[in-house]
Each structure stands twice: as C-alpha cells, then as structure tokens.
Amino acid sequence: MKQPFHFHQGDSPLLISMPHVGTNIPAEVRAQMMPVADQLADTDWHLPLLYNMVNELGASVIHAEYSRYVIDLNRSSDDSNLYPGQDTTGLCPTDTFAKEALYLDGKMPDAAEVQRRIQHYWQPYHQQLQAELARLRAKHGIAILWDAHSIASQVPRFFQGKLPDLNFGTADQHSCASGLQQTLAVTLQTTVTEPTYSHIFNGRFKGGYITRNYGQPAQNIHAVQLEMSQCIYMDEAAPYSYRADLAAQVQPLLRSLVKACQTWAAQQTGVKS
C-alpha cells in the first residue's frame, strides 16, 4: 500500500491540509465499485498545483493520496453529520455528489471494512496533522491550519444556485481568533485582482471536521477552511482540466491570503514573518 498522504515540512507556523485531492483507489476497493467511481468527479482537483506558492512561503503541506471515495478524511471517524438536517456524504461515501451509486449491489463497505479504512487511511493522515500542529506550536508559539478545498460551483444536492467564488469557514468564528478572520477579510478587500472574486464567511460551508476539530484558539491553534468554486481555476466538466490562464488570475490572491496568515501569526508572537 502506498503512503496514504504526502507531506512537506516547512519552517513557518502555517500548515496547509488538502484532504480531498487524492485520486488513488486501491484495487481491492475498486473491485467492489461501479464504473462511475473511475471518474472521480468529486475530487478537489489540482489544488497542489494551484497552491504551488506555499513551499516558497515556508508552509508545511499535507495532502491525501487516496480518493475521498475510499474514505473522507474531513469527516469524523464516528461518521457524525457535520450539518445536521442537511444532506451530506459520509465517512465512506456510498454515492457521488450527483447521487450516483458508487458500489455494486451487495458490495457496500460493512462495519469491519470501514474500521479497516479508518486504520489504514484516516488515522495516519490525522496523526500527521496532529504531530505537525504540535511541532509548529512548540516551535513558534502558534500554529495555523489552512484546510484547502474546492467544489463544483453548482451542486444542487447541497446548495441552491451558484456558490460564491471563495467560501471561508471558521466554524462561526470558533475555530480561529476573530482577529485572523478579520485579517483575511481585510486582505480580500485590499488585494486588487482582475477579475474580482466573490466571497463569504461561514455561509454554506462553515468548515468540516478538520477545521472544527483542530481549530483550538485557546490553545493558540487556529484553523480556517477555504472551499473554492472550481470554475475560477479549472474546467468543471470531465476531464476536469486545469486552466492555467484562470489559475494565474487567482493565485496572487491566494498568495496574499496565505501570507496574511503568516504575518498575523508573527504579530501574535512578536516574531518577524
């Protein structure tokens, strides 16, 4: 089995997590699945490429090797619903965002298989997250977790109409200090881009399990989720091609946002960024 995640250690207080970029499905899992699984339609496509400036900025980065169709790393291991009363996909999804069945009849993962996937895929990713956040806080006195996501701009199953371009989640300001959210809001207002990008804080997406679980402002660990509409950097229809022309327009803003997190962290600890 391949390592379930890829990890690069940086020297700033910032950790970028990309739990939904994986495209690998192990053969033994794929054998139980419908052909639609091969399309990997619900992947957070191309985020490592889109965020290619973060290594230069000294951020640590972790991203998944395996598809969210195998296990969703942004769900609690007890599979509790992040948005009670709203439709959502689970820890080991059984259908796509378009409600297409992922598994052959009688082949959906049973409790034992779910536990196996937790052990082999979910736990290693989260253990690395925990270890790196602890290291960053010990080294810098503060740690910031940026959970990077993207989604098709229109998914009727989960929301009506078209999403804003940039959807920030801070668990209604419980996963990070209010000052960090305000810093991001100011950065969005003062960074000049063409085209301009719409944004919202704590709208349809308030932050998933990773943001809510690891964001502990009282412990000086602050977490923010950014869910981007894929239309601003890629083709939303198969084969889901990366659009370098579009990406080049939004990347300066992403860089400004990441840098703003680092500058804010340095201000909290009195260390130059």
Q: What is the DSSP string of 187-227?
A: HHHHS--SS---EEESSS----HHHHHH-BGGGTEEEEEEE
Q: Decide if 273 is inside a domain.
A: no
10 Å CB burial of residue 30 (0-12, 13-18, 19+) is middle
Is residue 88 included in any domain, yes or no?
A: yes
Number of domains in the chain: 1
pLDDT tens digit string along 188-223? 999 999 999 999 999 999 999 999 999 999 999 999
| pLDDT for the residue numbered 273 | 45
Q: Is residue 198 part of a domain?
A: yes
Q: What is the CATH number of the domain that holds 139?
A: 3.40.630.40
Domain of 120, in residue numbers = 5-268
- pTM (predicted TM-score): 0.96
| pLDDT tens for each residue of 61-99 | 999 999 999 999 999 999 888 887 788 899 999 999 999
